[in-house]
């Protein structure tokens, strides 16, 4: 789970990249002031607008005028200007409102689609393997053509016109009313999501700097594990091995499950993690290969001689505290979501934090996990240890002859054009009708990628989605093909949810988890497309248990993440030392509540090691929610017509997640389908 994975879903929620500009890219020199428009003026304006409008517009007027007032700065005009603006631009009836909506939709598609196309084009030298990169390519690639759009639209009042006629609805309102809304009413609500906040530039710049500092801290947090020693001075890792925390350290623990001598290296890395969490790690060993360090005793050595080190001064927790303080400033300019927790869950994920916690605790409290823990302990031939949250022994090792597959694919797809020309045939293999397959394929352009690969969707119907994967001069190998089929899944979602959804403003999916669901369903069938299916019932059972175990791990960490932010808002004046103690206490509590019954080990703070908590707080929950969606959707469609189900699910567009899931699989996002499958897998293994 690396942060760069986010990039592979550039079209996931279609216009969200531009909608978010209203929240994070507004360039405004205004200072935060008390609301300029009085409640009396708001009431007067509402009353007068109601007199001019049909009764069916009254509820909208009440909501919208207050929302415009909340974002009206001194530079926008005085109370009289506000009143006159509302009278001039509030629509009077359904017909006028629909006419305005359609014009906004048309023009937003032109703007967002045009800016997106420009951004794709400017980044081609950086993303596509079609020649060398020259200096100005990076400058052009870093330019965002639409960066000032929100600022311009607040200045020329188009943003206020949008808000006045299409007010914002909270997640609670969407949840309570959404099942009864027509598609047009849903589209109006999504139009209301375009402008929800108006944050001054200096606040955004401050947040960007704080976030960048935290990211730099994490990016440089490397441990030279070749310099780790035990009490006898023995090392267990290659001399030049350098691992970043926490990803590299975690992956090294995973790799040692394949070794009979893996216990000691795993235990040693676990102790490194404990010192990072406790912030008593010697500063000298962070991103330095000069010293030897015994993580069991926390002793530091230079050229064999013991020396006194300096412990890290709560830097880890100070960065987290800085991010909290920076978000507090943004809170003041976010009247609809006045704290970071609400912005991440109600606004970005669109699942209430309480629902997310319930889903996570349901899985982490399950009897199935206790049974899986027993299976893992038996497989390892020892009692479970805290680092076994990263056990990956359920993954079946490939028995494929990769060289043979590489040769087949290089012959089948010697260049990107041949693969692009074959996209319609691949879709027909998946069960798509020829006409549909040809249309979808015609809206996708394949590019040879400089990186591993990604999918970038179009944002207007006249443009094409982009599929990027590695294609060597000798053709496509299996790795490039496997990635290509995954990205093709994204492109199919991007195309269907742009062209087959009834309203432009509704196109896309609720969040990135949903496009990942289809991409992984495609990717899982890559060998089937080649006539080389390589699964059986037992490998499927093992995959289910691997899914369950990895979900437990990341759900536990996510619960810590959420509770830490709740603690921060309850203790806004906390010091970095107090925050450190709180994080450790919360991690211990989550461990003892949910993990101790499975592992038989108490008081491990290991769940606090995740770097996401420091440089991308509250992002962690997206991973397990995504895994559950992938599993539910994959299970639901496995015995149904694939193409029919894909069209049925993904033409729903950007509903809220739980409503989308009900429409797609009949139930809300839940851990229960995974738990049911896990029970069957446990029985099969036993």
- Per-residue pLDDT reduced to its tens digit, 368-417: 999 999 999 999 999 999 999 999 888 764 456 788 999 999 999 999 99
77 found inside a domain: yes
> What pLDDT, on the 0 to 100 scale, is given for residue 396?
60
Domain boundary residue, one of 529, 549, 570: 529
Question: Per residue in 407-440, is it b (16+ CB within 10 Å) or e — as a string?
Answer: ebbbeebbebeebbebbbebbbbbebeeebbebb
Structural domain total, the chain: 4
Domain that holds residue 603: 337-395+536-685
Instruction: Mark whether 516 and 543 lie in a shared domain.
Output: no
So what's the pLDDT on residue 250?
Answer: 95
Q: Are residues 351 and 296 in the same domain?
A: no
Same domain, 383 and 406: no
Listed residues 260, 282, 316: the one ending a domain = 316
Is residue 183 situated within a structural domain?
yes
What does each C-alpha distance from 636 to 534, 649, 661 come to in angstroms? 21, 11, 11
Question: pLDDT below 50 — which residues of the chain?
Answer: 1-34, 397-398
Q: Domain check: are 377 and 428 in the same one?
A: no
> Is 151 a domain residue?
yes
Query: In this predicted structure, what is the pLDDT of residue 202?
Result: 83
DSSP 228: B
Tell me the DSSP string of 273-341: HHHHHHT-SBGGGBT--S-EEETTTTEEEETTEEE---B--SHHHHHHHHHHHHHHHHHTT-SSS-SHH
In a domain, 204, yes or no: no
**Do 414 and 494 belong together in one domain?**
yes
Q: Which residue has the tokens 């007199």?
A: 51
Are 92 and 192 within one domain? Answer: yes
Considering the domain architecture, whether residues 408 and 391 belong to the same structural domain is answered as no
pLDDT of residue 585: 98
In a domain? residue 272: yes
* Residues 163 and 61 placed together within one structural domain of the fold: yes
**Do 65 and 170 share a structural domain?**
yes
Predicted local distance difference test score (pLDDT) of residue 212: 86
Instruction: State the residue for tokens 């899982």.
Output: 524
Residue 489 lies in a domain: yes
Rg of the chain in Å (alpha carbons): 27
The Cα–Cα gap between 198 and 201 comes to 9
Residue 571 belongs to some domain of the structure:
yes
Q: Which of 560, 554, 552, 562 is nearest to 674 (CA)?
A: 552
> Rounded CA gap, 424 and 536, in Å?
28
Same domain flag for 385 and 475: no
- The whole-model pTM stands at 0.84
Is 191 a domain residue? yes
| Neighbour count for residue 156 (Cβ, 10 Å) | 10
- CB contact at 8 A, 606 and 587: yes
Strand 292-294: give its sheet, edge to edge: 292-294, 299-302, 305-307
Residues 602 and 664 in one domain: yes
Residues 551 and 631 placed together within one structural domain of the fold: yes
């Amino acid at each position: 789970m690396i942060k760069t994975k986010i990039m592979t879903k550039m079209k996931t929620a279609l216009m969200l990249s531009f909608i978010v500009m209203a929240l994070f890219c507004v360039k405004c020199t205004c200072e935060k002031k008390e609301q300029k428009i009085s409640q009396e003026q708001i009431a007067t304006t509402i009353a007068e607008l109601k007199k001019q409008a049909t009764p069916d517009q009254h509820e909208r007027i009440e909501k919208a005028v207050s929302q415009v007032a909340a974002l009206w700065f001194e530079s926008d005009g005085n109370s009289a200007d506000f009143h006159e603006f509302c009278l001039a631009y509030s629509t009077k009836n359904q017909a006028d409102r629909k006419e305005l909506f359609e014009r906004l939709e048309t023009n937003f598609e032109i703007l967002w689609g045009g800016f997106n196309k420009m951004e794709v084009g400017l980044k081609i030298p950086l993303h596509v393997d079609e020649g060398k990169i020259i200096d100005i390519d990076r400058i052009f690639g870093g330019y965002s053509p639409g960066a000032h759009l929100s600022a311009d639209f607040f200045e020329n009042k188009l943003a206020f016109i949008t808000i006045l006629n299409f007010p914002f609805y909270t997640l609670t309102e969407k949840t309570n009313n959404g099942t009864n809304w027509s598609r047009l009413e849903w589209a109006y609500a999504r139009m209301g999501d375009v402008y929800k906040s108006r944050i001054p530039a200096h606040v955004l710049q401050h947040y960007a700097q704080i976030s960048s500092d935290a990211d730099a801290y994490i990016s440089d947090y490397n441990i030279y594990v070749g310099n780790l020693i035990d009490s006898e001075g023995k090392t267990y890792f290659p001399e030049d091995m350098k691992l970043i925390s926490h990803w590299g350290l975690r992956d090294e623990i995973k790799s040692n499950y394949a070794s009979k001598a893996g216990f000691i290296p795993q235990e040693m890395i676990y102790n490194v993690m404990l010192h990072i969490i406790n912030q008593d790690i010697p500063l000298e060993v962070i991103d330095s290969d000069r010293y030897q360090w015994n993580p069991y005793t926390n002793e530091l050595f230079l050229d064999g001689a013991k020396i006194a080190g300096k412990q890290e001064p709560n830097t880890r927790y100070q960065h987290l505290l800085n991010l909290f303080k920076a978000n507090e400033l943004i809170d003041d300019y976010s009247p609809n979501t006045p704290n970071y927790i609400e912005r991440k869950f109600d606004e970005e994920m669109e699942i209430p934090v309480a629902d997310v916690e319930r889903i996570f605790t349901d899985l982490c409290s399950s009897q199935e996990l206790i049974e899986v823990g027993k299976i893992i302990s038996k497989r390892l031939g020892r009692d479970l240890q805290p680092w076994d949250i990263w056990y990956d022994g359920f993954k079946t090792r490939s028995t494929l002859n990769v060289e043979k597959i590489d040769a087949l694919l290089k012959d089948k797809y010697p260049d990107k054009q041949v693969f692009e020309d074959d996209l319609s045939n691949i879709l027909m293999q998946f069960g798509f009708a020829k006409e549909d397959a040809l249309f979808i394929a015609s809206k996708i352009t394949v590019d040879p990628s400089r990186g591993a690969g990604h999918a970038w969707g179009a944002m207007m119907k006249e443009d094409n989605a982009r599929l990027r994967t590695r294609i060597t001069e000798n053709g496509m190998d299996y790795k490039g093909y496997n990635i290509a089929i995954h990205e093709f899944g994204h492109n199919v979602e991007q195309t269907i949810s742009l062209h087959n959804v009834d309203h432009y403003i509704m196109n896309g999916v609720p969040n990135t988890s949903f496009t990942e669901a289809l991409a992984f369903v495609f990717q899982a069938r890559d060998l089937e497309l080649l006539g080389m299916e390589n699964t059986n019932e037992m490998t499927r059972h093992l995959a289910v248990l691997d899914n369950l175990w990895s979900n437990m791990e990341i759900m536990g960490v996510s619960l810590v993440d959420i509770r830490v932010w709740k603690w921060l808002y309850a203790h806004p004046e906390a010091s970095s030392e107090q925050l450190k103690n709180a994080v450790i206490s919360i991690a211990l509590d989550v461990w003892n509540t949910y993990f101790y019954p499975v592992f038989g080990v108490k008081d491990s703070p290991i769940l606090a090691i995740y770097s996401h908590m420091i440089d991308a707080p509250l992002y962690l929950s997206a991973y397990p929610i995504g895994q559950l969606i992938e599993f539910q959707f994959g299970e639901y469609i496995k015995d149904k017509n694939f193409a029919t189900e894909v069209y049925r699910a993904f033409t729903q567009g950007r509903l809220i997640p739980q409503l989308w899931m009900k429409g797609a699989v009949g139930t809300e996002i839940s851990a229960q389908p995974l738990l049911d499958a896990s029970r069957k897998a446990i029985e099969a293994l036993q």
